[in-house]
Amino acid sequence: MTRFDLTGKTAVITGAGRGIGRALARGLAEAGAQVAVVSRSQAQLDELVQEIEQAGGRAFAIAADITESGAPEQVVQATIEQFGGLHILVNNAGMNIRSKALDVTEEEWDRITALDLKAAFFMAQAAGKVMCEQKYGRIVNIASVGGLVALRTGVVYAASKAGVIQMTRVLALEWSKFGVCVNTIAPWYFRTPLTETLLNDPAYLQDILNRTPMGRIGELEDLIGPAIFLASDAAAYISGQTIAVDGGMSVYGF
């Protein structure tokens, strides 16, 4: 066993039906964790559970809308009933609507913040109650470099992700004394179902590459290592931090 080994740990991953969440669920399972995968799509979750189990891991599907009142507590309770405990939360579920600030509607604001910030907090709170009581836990929030630097559209998404980053700091301040480490990963562009259309536009893609010192789009595999690290005992003295997994984009200058 290494300090990066997650054997014996149980993880909840939200937004696990596709994209980043799906990749992180597979990655944590490969590192030894039992994973409870959460999404609104039962079909996507069933397919993911089958993939993980065929690879020798253990997984459990929880179809839930975590923006609904009480849903985070129900997810945590179902995980404990299935696996006997909870040690890791990967707070990944999120959405974006790419409106310019002058065009944002109240409905867009409410939809995005409800999932990207409010639900993320209440998932952390539900998991944190268990983790603080048992004096151990790892919470890995998935934000965005849009929460660190200004992007040209998506003001509500950016505000929500900045909120997640600040939320991470406050939770770390409150919970680190209980052995609960709370950190954030801030990705740049990765090819997922949510970004596929944008990245298929050659001009848009080139603009992204021009702003990325490494000169490439992120691969989902690039996120698995940081997530395992922050979820493991290798990161036992790290809390309240944000790691930008962005090919250097957030330090880009002129």
Active centre residues (catalytic): 157
CB atoms within 10 A of CB 202: 8
| Bridge-based pairing state of the strands 10-14 and 34-39 | parallel
Q: Report the C-alpha gap between 132 and 154 in whole angstroms.
A: 35
Sheet holding 88-91, edge to edge: 59-63, 34-39, 10-14, 88-91, 137-142, 180-187, 242-245
Q: Which residue from 81, 175, 84 is spatially nearest to 133, judged by alpha carbons?
A: 175
What stretch of H or E contains 122?
helix 120-134
